[in-house]
Protein backbone atom coordinates (compact mmCIF):
# COMPACT_ATOMS: atom_id res chain seq x y z
CA UNK A 1 0.00 0.00 0.00
CA UNK A 2 1.56 3.21 -1.18
CA UNK A 3 0.02 5.73 1.21
CA UNK A 4 1.66 8.75 -0.35
CA UNK A 5 0.30 7.82 -3.73
CA UNK A 6 -3.30 7.58 -2.51
CA UNK A 7 -2.96 10.66 -0.38
CA UNK A 8 -1.85 12.58 -3.47
CA UNK A 9 -4.81 11.18 -5.44
CA UNK A 10 -7.20 12.20 -2.69
CA UNK A 11 -5.74 15.68 -2.27
CA UNK A 12 -5.94 16.21 -6.00
CA UNK A 13 -9.56 15.08 -6.12
CA UNK A 14 -10.35 17.26 -3.15
CA UNK A 15 -9.06 20.41 -4.79
CA UNK A 16 -10.96 19.50 -7.95
CA UNK A 17 -14.17 19.17 -5.94
CA UNK A 18 -13.55 22.47 -4.14
CA UNK A 19 -12.98 24.28 -7.42
CA UNK A 20 -16.13 22.78 -8.88
CA UNK A 21 -18.11 23.91 -5.85
CA UNK A 22 -16.81 27.44 -6.21
CA UNK A 23 -17.74 27.43 -9.87
CA UNK A 24 -21.30 26.32 -9.05
CA UNK A 25 -21.67 28.90 -6.34
CA UNK A 26 -20.52 31.69 -8.63
CA UNK A 27 -23.13 30.62 -11.17
CA UNK A 28 -25.83 31.14 -8.55
CA UNK A 29 -24.82 34.67 -7.68
CA UNK A 30 -27.32 37.26 -8.73
CA UNK A 31 -29.92 34.77 -9.87
CA UNK A 32 -33.50 35.70 -9.26
CA UNK A 33 -35.63 32.86 -8.02
CA UNK A 34 -38.81 34.90 -8.08
CA UNK A 35 -38.67 35.07 -11.88
CA UNK A 36 -38.47 31.29 -12.12
CA UNK A 37 -41.16 30.64 -9.60
CA UNK A 38 -43.59 33.19 -10.92
CA UNK A 39 -46.78 31.45 -11.90
CA UNK A 40 -48.93 32.11 -14.90
CA UNK A 41 -46.33 33.86 -16.98
CA UNK A 42 -48.11 35.22 -20.03
CA UNK A 43 -45.23 34.98 -22.42
CA UNK A 44 -44.88 31.31 -23.26
CA UNK A 45 -41.27 31.48 -24.36
CA UNK A 46 -40.37 33.32 -21.17
CA UNK A 47 -41.94 30.63 -19.03
CA UNK A 48 -40.17 27.96 -21.09
CA UNK A 49 -36.90 29.75 -20.41
CA UNK A 50 -37.77 29.86 -16.74
CA UNK A 51 -38.52 26.14 -16.76
CA UNK A 52 -35.19 25.42 -18.40
CA UNK A 53 -33.39 27.61 -15.91
CA UNK A 54 -35.16 25.88 -13.06
CA UNK A 55 -34.20 22.47 -14.40
CA UNK A 56 -30.61 23.57 -14.73
CA UNK A 57 -30.74 24.86 -11.20
CA UNK A 58 -32.08 21.56 -9.96
CA UNK A 59 -29.29 19.74 -11.71
CA UNK A 60 -26.81 22.13 -10.15
CA UNK A 61 -28.27 21.38 -6.75
CA UNK A 62 -28.01 17.66 -7.37
CA UNK A 63 -24.46 18.18 -8.55
CA UNK A 64 -23.76 20.28 -5.46
CA UNK A 65 -25.02 17.50 -3.20
CA UNK A 66 -22.87 14.99 -5.03
CA UNK A 67 -19.84 17.20 -4.59
CA UNK A 68 -20.63 17.61 -0.91
CA UNK A 69 -20.93 13.87 -0.52
CA UNK A 70 -17.70 13.32 -2.43
CA UNK A 71 -15.92 15.82 -0.21
CA UNK A 72 -17.10 13.98 2.91
CA UNK A 73 -15.90 10.70 1.45
CA UNK A 74 -12.51 12.18 0.58
CA UNK A 75 -12.06 13.64 4.05
CA UNK A 76 -12.97 10.33 5.60
CA UNK A 77 -10.54 8.50 3.34
CA UNK A 78 -7.76 10.93 4.31
CA UNK A 79 -8.56 10.29 7.95
CA UNK A 80 -8.40 6.55 7.36
CA UNK A 81 -5.03 7.00 5.68
CA UNK A 82 -3.77 8.69 8.85
CA UNK A 83 -5.28 6.00 11.05
CA UNK A 84 -3.87 3.22 8.92
CA UNK A 85 -7.25 1.71 8.05
CA UNK A 86 -7.29 3.00 4.50
CA UNK A 87 -8.10 0.42 1.82
CA UNK A 88 -9.97 -1.83 4.24
CA UNK A 89 -13.64 -2.41 3.49
CA UNK A 90 -15.81 -0.85 6.22
CA UNK A 91 -18.37 -3.62 6.01
CA UNK A 92 -16.48 -6.89 5.67
CA UNK A 93 -13.01 -5.83 6.77
CA UNK A 94 -11.37 -7.27 3.67
CA UNK A 95 -8.79 -5.29 1.69
CA UNK A 96 -10.26 -3.36 -1.21
CA UNK A 97 -8.70 -4.23 -4.57
CA UNK A 98 -5.95 -1.76 -5.54
CA UNK A 99 -7.51 -1.25 -8.99
CA UNK A 100 -10.74 -0.13 -7.32
CA UNK A 101 -8.88 2.24 -5.00
CA UNK A 102 -7.03 3.59 -7.98
CA UNK A 103 -10.30 4.42 -9.75
CA UNK A 104 -12.22 5.52 -6.63
CA UNK A 105 -9.62 6.48 -4.02
CA UNK A 106 -12.32 7.69 -1.61
CA UNK A 107 -14.29 4.46 -1.58
CA UNK A 108 -14.80 2.76 1.78
CA UNK A 109 -16.41 -0.44 0.54
CA UNK A 110 -15.14 -3.32 -1.55
CA UNK A 111 -16.99 -4.11 -4.73
CA UNK A 112 -19.00 -6.97 -3.20
CA UNK A 113 -20.27 -4.87 -0.31
CA UNK A 114 -20.97 -1.92 -2.58
CA UNK A 115 -23.20 -4.17 -4.63
CA UNK A 116 -24.89 -5.44 -1.48
CA UNK A 117 -25.79 -1.94 -0.28
CA UNK A 118 -26.57 -0.83 -3.82
CA UNK A 119 -25.32 2.24 -5.66
Residues forming the site for Zn ion (CB under 5 A): 89, 91-92, 110, 113
Identity of the residue, 17 or 109, whose beta carbon is nearer to Zn ion in the bound complex = 109
Task: Output phi, psi for 104, to 5 deg.
Answer: -130, 75
Q: How far is CA 70 from CA 31, 78, 104, in A?
A: 26, 12, 10
Closest distance to Zn ion from the beta carbon of 9 (Å) = 20
Give the H/E segment covering residue 81.
helix 44-83
**Min CB(94)–Zn ion separation in Å:** 5
Closest separation in Å from C-beta 67 to Zn ion: 25
Half-sphere exposure of 36 (CA within 13 A, CB side): 12
Q: Which is nearer to Zn ion, 27 or 95 (CB)?
A: 95
Give the integer Cα–Cα distance in Å for 20 and 3.
26
Compute the least distance from the CB of residue 103 to Zn ion, in Å: 16
Contact (CB, 8 A) for 7 and 78: yes
CB of 6 or CB of 17, closer to Zn ion: 6
Which residue, 74 or 110, has its beta carbon nearer to Zn ion? 110
Amino acid sequence: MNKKHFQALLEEEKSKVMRERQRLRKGWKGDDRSVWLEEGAEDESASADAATALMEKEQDLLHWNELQQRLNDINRALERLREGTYGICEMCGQPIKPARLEALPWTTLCLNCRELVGG
